[in-house]
Chains A and B, each alone.
Chain A
Amino acid sequence: MTEASLLQSSAGMAGVDAVIQAHGLVKRYGELEAVRGIDLEVQQGEIFGFLGPNGAGKSTTISILCTLLTPSAGTARVAGVDVVQDPARVRQRIGLVFQDPSLDDQLTGRENLEFHAWIYSVPAAERGPRIDEMLALLQLTERAGSAVKTYSGGMKRRLEIARGMLHQPQVLFLDEPTLGLDPQTRQSIWKHLNELRDSKGITIFMTTHYMDEAEYCDRIAIIDRGKIVAQGTPDELKAMVGGDVVTITSSRPDAAAAEIEKLLGVTAIRDNGSLRMEVPDAKVFVPRLVRELEAPVDTVTLRRPSLDDVFLKLTGHAIRDEEAGTKDQMRAMASRWRGRSR
């Protein structure tokens, strides 16, 4: 994986005044190594996406950076402060949006923000103006006086983002902020995050396992099994997948794969019963494929590479596997149940 290591070293040159710097982070739980040596640098004002399947070590890494977990080895500085030596100062300088809801839904939106302003020692004279500003920025002004239990999932998320920004942090950490939201709501969350970055110059560090969302990030790191396998801008990463992506289905996939390898010199990757291959130019490749293959070809699709392809190429498996799907469903069910029982 030479491309990956190249990208990593180029990110390492990015400069000394990075807002987030991590070196050799390791987190062990007994025998299990959840995070296995992570190096990261994130610059001021960047939207940095931390991308990987469930269980890859995303949440563990973000928890270490937020001082919620102590690393087993390695160091990290956030907003110029060491996360192990002075966690309280780190927390004063970062905003947090957790994966699971953390609002008091009996209180109104404004009351939730007031609570946060007090507990983060926002000066008395600034509490009101800052709360008003954040409510307006996240388009919650009209509903600020309603109990949070009447909010939709997207509104709750926006309120949590507003809350995380209230004490004017340098970095906003979001752990799977769009999990369980419908596509439209996810888009609006992204619009708001971009606005915040533009108007406040804040650095945003977020995790997601939605590959399509990573496209909104300035830079992303792909993590798999506790290690970063690639880092760069979405375009840089996509350039790692040469040219176009061609996917075929065949009733005899094994024979087809062998023939493609032999006749066309292209390695096809098995993915859920279909065969996927990267080719420099699909316009030339597809006619040859259809002409020369003896194994039956049932369907052919071609498209530009996506981050899914990058992930598949780097790790040999797809990001959205069966397991992730059921886990999502369980989480959605859990939050529905929570909503009812309150």
Chain B
Amino acid sequence: MSVKAARPGAAPASAAVVPVDTRLASLRAIYIIWYRDILRYWRDRWRLVASLAQPLLFLVVFGSGLSSALGRGTVFGSAAGFTYIQFMYPGIIGMAILFTAIFGAMSIVWDREFGFLKEVLVAPIDRSAVAIGKALGSTTQAMIQGLILLVLAPFVGVKLSPLTVLELIPLAAILAFGLSSFGVALASMMKSLQGFQVVMNFLMMPMFFLSGALFPLTSSLPGWMTLLTHLDPASYGIDPLRRVVLSDSGRPSRVVEQFALTINGQPLAIPLEAGIVLAFGAVMLGIAVMMFQRRD
């Protein structure tokens, strides 16, 4: 314990105040805001375990149930080369990322409600650091949450090579970033917890259902739904995850591509899809930064 000697009648502390490099200060702020999120996430192991329960439930109950019902069908099953549960598995990874990213980012609303946000907003930093730090914090959480589910691959009969896993990391990160930025933008506009239920029911659930996580976004969908699925940013993040996860199966790529997101019947290139999600994330983060910089 090092306690400095008291300085009776000390000179004003301002003598010690050196002009702070604002860009460095912002980087420090981004780091510590990110670090706080990770610390809280890591400490709350129970939440970590609990958040795996929902994907597991989907896979084990919902997935197994539909798998056996569709077993002899033409879309899934032996004829198509994939069981429903194998189809669904990457979608569930996407679901975990979607929910964790948006919930993580929305913790800003809690911080506002419980006062901590004030401590951050009055600090002598550029407020863009708040939006960026928070977006990166929930990106990291969501990515971890998604990638943890990769350990379930053997149980659903999906083979994963180390190369595939390496490929999945940036894809998961991009999807996590896009959705986290979206969550931060939402949170920057919400002044209380009241809007939370609305976001949950009218944004997150539709985004999940329309993302192709649970069923293939084929051309046989009704037109209005095809439009909505193409407006859902999560569609462009989950599709590449599925194509990469299923590519290790040894089936011809035609079989894998049958589920792919298409525009005019043509499957989109994975880098293009990743680019769309990144661009969406960048725009959302820009909106969030603008919202935080408004001084009330």
Contacts and interface: CB of A to CB of B under 8 A. Distances in A.
B13 A121 contact: no
Nearest to A17: B12
B224 interface: no
Contacts of B22: 88
B163 interface: no
Contact of B119 (A70, A80, A116, A200): A116
B243 to A, nearest CB: 39
Contact of B16 (A70, A118, A168, A198): A168
Interface string B89-133: 000000000000000000000010011101110111100000000
B189 interface: no
Nearest to B32: A118
Interface in B49-99: none
Contact of B32 (A66, A92, A103, A115): A115
B123 A80 contact: no
A342 B13 CA distance: 37
A170 B3 contact: no
A91 B123 contact: yes
Contacts of A111: 36, 39
B29 interface: yes
Nearest to A126: B16
A96 interface: yes
A79 to B, nearest CB: 6
B123 A136 contact: no
B209 interface: no
Contact of A201 (B10, B40, B125): B10
B7 interface: yes
B151 interface: no
A104 B123 contact: no
Nearest to A111: B39
B2 A129 contact: yes
Interface string A61-89: 00000101010000000011000000011
B194 to A, nearest CB: 15
B122 A133 contact: no
A170 B12 CA distance: 6
A98 B115 contact: yes
A168 B13 contact: yes
Interface residues of A, number: 48
B3 A136 contact: yes
B2 A133 contact: yes
Q: Could you say which interface size class chain B belongs to?
A: 35 or more
A285 interface: no
B40 A107 contact: yes
Contacts of A104: 36, 40, 111, 116
Interface string A160-177: 000100001110000000
A199 B8 contact: yes
Contacts of B25: 121
Nearest to A199: B6
B24 interface: yes
Interface in B1-28: 1-4, 6-14, 16-17, 20, 22, 24-25, 28
A100 B116 CA distance: 10
Nearest to A100: B115
A338 B4 CA distance: 37
A102 B116 contact: yes
A187 interface: no
B116 A103 contact: yes
Question: Which A-B residue pairs are the 6 nearest by beta carbons?
Answer: A118-B32, A199-B6, A102-B115, A201-B10, A168-B13, A91-B124
Given A44-B12, A102-B115, A120-B123, 5 more contacts: A88-B22, A107-B36, A119-B120, A136-B3, A201-B8
Interface of B: 1-4, 6-14, 16-17, 20, 22, 24-25, 28-29, 31-33, 36, 39-40, 43-44, 111, 114-116, 118-120, 122-125, 295
10 contacts: A80-B14, A92-B17, A98-B115, A136-B3, A170-B14, A198-B6, A198-B8, A199-B6, A199-B7, A201-B8
Interface of A: 19, 44-45, 66, 68, 70, 79-80, 88-89, 91-93, 96, 98, 100-107, 111, 114-116, 118-121, 129, 132-133, 136-137, 141, 163, 168-170, 198-202, 338, 342
